[in-house]
């Protein structure tokens, strides 16, 4: 993808169903046979002490190009272009289910499987999103806003093998303004999120991997875009950025 090349990113093409396989491999837990392989990815063959998975609803390369989040552009050097079975599967709910469950197993859940294998795991998200992340309430903490999730994340960093954070303010902003938010409001939210990611990384221990995943939001919304911006938005797949240990 030309946008990725312009940003100097190393790009990998994966499917949504490979996301749990990436995390399992990073944490050196045996991959169940029904999860797809990720051998084509150049994952570090070193001990990983912590994975921070940040999920941002309605966040894509379009937002990266438009609002220029400084830390993300400079530091998240590995780009995942995430293919889904359909545009509906690119929405937040199906993407969460692809990340944490498996369509080929009725019992698999990523958080439960890691916990069973002795890993400390925690997810912080809104109450309505929890069923798409796990069925084990003891592994999650519910909060009502992105700000509250950020505050609790600061306390949870370096205390878990996998920390999952789900932010939805960007998607809620798009819905509130019918996909045409004032530029200053959109810029403020993306800059704030960018600063949070920077702070998470600065406070994290050595051996940390950060994986940032964007999706198409909770429901289909059309943006009134013209020209190149419209082409970028239409061409977008769900994305992921990976930053390996410092």
Q: Where do the structural domains in the chain lie, given as residue ranges? A: 2-40+49-243
The structure tokens listed for 114 are 């890691």
What pLDDT does residue 98 have? 95
From the number of C-beta atoms within 10 Å of its C-beta (0-12, 13-18, 19+), residue 223 rates as middle
pLDDT at 130 over 70: yes
Q: What is the dihedral of CA 24, 124, 88, 64, to 10 degrees?
A: -90
Mean pLDDT in residue range 73-90: 86
C-beta separation of 13 from 81 below 8 A? yes
How far is Cα of residue 58 from the mean position of the Cα atoms in its chain?
A: 11
Distance between CA atoms of residues 50 and 71, nearest Å:
20
- The pLDDT value given to residue 102: 96
- Does the domain spanning 2-40+49-243 belong to CATH 1.25.40.10? no
State yes or no: pLDDT of 223 exceeds 70: no
- Whether 230 has a pLDDT exceeding 60, the answer reads no
CA 225-177-214 angle, 5° bins = 70
Which pLDDT score, from 0 to 100, does residue 220 have? 63
What are the helix (H) ranges across the chain? 2-6, 19-26, 61-67, 70-75, 92-100, 110-116, 146-156, 169-176, 183-203, 227-235
Task: Determine the average pLDDT of the residues in 192-196.
Answer: 96
**Whether the Cβ atoms of residue 82 and residue 15 lie closer than 8 Å to each other:** yes
Residue 59, C-beta contacts closer than 8 angstroms, at least 6 positions apart: 170, 214, 215, 239
| pLDDT: which is higher, 163 or 7 | 163
- Position 43 confidence tier, pLDDT thresholds 50, 70, 90: confident
Q: Tens digit of pLDDT for each residue in 146-186? A: 999 999 999 999 999 999 999 999 889 988 887 788 889 99
- Report CA 168 to chain centroid distance, whole Å: 11
DSSP designation for 165: E
Q: What pTM was computed for the model?
A: 0.92
pLDDT given for residue 235 in this prediction: 47
Give me the pLDDT at residue 77, please.
80
């Amino acid at each position: 993808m030309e946008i990725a090349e312009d940003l100097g990113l190393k790009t990998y093409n994966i499917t949504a169903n490979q996301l749990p396989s990436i995390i399992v491999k990073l944490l050196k837990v045996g991959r169940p046979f029904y999860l797809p392989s990720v051998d084509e990815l150049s994952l570090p063959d070193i001990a990983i002490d912590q994975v921070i998975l940040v999920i941002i609803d309605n966040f894509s390369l379009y937002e990266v190009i438009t609002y220029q989040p400084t830390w993300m552009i400079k530091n998240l050097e590995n780009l995942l272009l995430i293919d889904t079975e359909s545009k509906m599967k690119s929405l937040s709910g199906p993407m969460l289910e692809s990340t944490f469950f498996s369509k080929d197993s009725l019992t698999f859940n990523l958080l439960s499987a890691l916990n069973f294998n002795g890993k400390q795991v925690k997810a912080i998200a809104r109450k309505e999103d929890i069923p798409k992340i796990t069925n084990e309430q003891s592994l999650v903490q519910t909060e009502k806003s992105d700000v509250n999730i950020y505050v609790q994340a600061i306390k949870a960093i370096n205390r878990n093998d996998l920390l999952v954070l789900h932010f939805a303010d960007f998607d809620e902003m798009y819905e509130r303004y019918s996909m045409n938010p004032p530029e200053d409001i959109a810029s403020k939210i993306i800059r704030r999120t960018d600063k949070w990611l920077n702070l998470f990384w600065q406070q994290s221990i050595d051996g940390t991997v950060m994986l940032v995943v964007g999706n198409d939001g909770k429901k289909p919304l059309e943006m009134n875009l013209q020209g190149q911006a419209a082409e970028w938005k239409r061409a977008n797949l769900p994305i992921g950025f990976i930053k390996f240990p410092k």
